[in-house]
Amino acid sequence: MREILGRRRKLSLQRKGRSGLLHAVLTYAEQWKWRVVPGVGYDRHSTGRVGGERACACPRVDCPVPGVHPLDPGLLAATHDARMVRWWWTGRPQAPVILATGDRVSAASLPAAAGELALAAIEKTGFRLGPVIATPSRYFFLVAPYSLAELGELLNSQDWVPTSLRYHGDGGYVPLPATDGGGADTAAPGEPGWVREPAAGADDPAPWLPRISTLVEALVRAGRTAPDGDRLTF
């Protein structure tokens, strides 16, 4: 009887996790109008790489962003259509959530150590931050969409821009947490999680987002402290 009860409890928790992820994805797509697509996920039969990094389910042995990139469907299929989103995650209930940036939301990211410094520096000024996502290797600061021309002017105003600082605009993507930020759920080890949860705007159900121009200086300054080389790890 103990074994049966234990198995039922485990299945119940699994169902709760699956339904929680689907609820989060539908919130992103249907309510916030963020375009999403399933990530490729991880190889279930792999023991991972050196350092505990999980191996990607895609065919590339040296995948630069293991598990958290689109494959099939590709990034161009990203949508906020609730019917398509529900169909995708019903068929792949544990698929990572990938946000296609550049439409309703964009981002800038730093290696995790530098991201913590930037977060502390920005909050010390009293500036209102938007949502911030953390993975084991990077911090993603979500911002309002920006154009290449706007970004170019901002970067041109800096004496030097670290290669560890990356911008995710039109045609880019970032991973999203498996929860929409209600405060009750926490990210599983190694998965994306909210460092600063989304807060709705005054007249919009979607989270309020700052402009990239208000963050660039702090991100550049922090990025100089923690270069992460050429590998784009998420």
CA distance 17 to 84: 20
Nearest Cα to 67, choosing from 87, 48, 84? Answer: 48
How many domains does the chain fold into? 1
Tokens coding 150: 């706007």
Mean pLDDT by 10 residues, the chain (234 residues): 41 46 95 96 65 77 87 95 96 94 94 90 88 93 91 82 86 93 61 90 84 86 63 46
Look at residue 178 and tell me if it is in a domain: yes
pLDDT for 11: 31
Look at residue 234 and tell me if it is in a domain: no
Tokens coding 200: 């709705």
Look at residue 149 and tell me if it is in a domain: yes
Model-wide pTM > 0.75: yes
pLDDT for 50: 44
Q: What is the DSSP code (8-state) at residue 36?
A: E
Residue 111: what residue type?
Answer: P
| DSSP one-letter string for 77-113 | G-B--HHHHHHHHHHSTTPPEEEE-SSS-EEEEEEHH
Look at residue 175 and tell me if it is in a domain: yes
Three-state SS at 15: helix
Domain hosting residue 70, numbered range: 2-223
pLDDT for 197: 94
Look at residue 230 and tell me if it is in a domain: no
pLDDT for 188: 64
Look at residue 116 and tell me if it is in a domain: yes
Cβ–Cβ under 8 Å, residues 165 and 223: yes
pLDDT for 32: 96
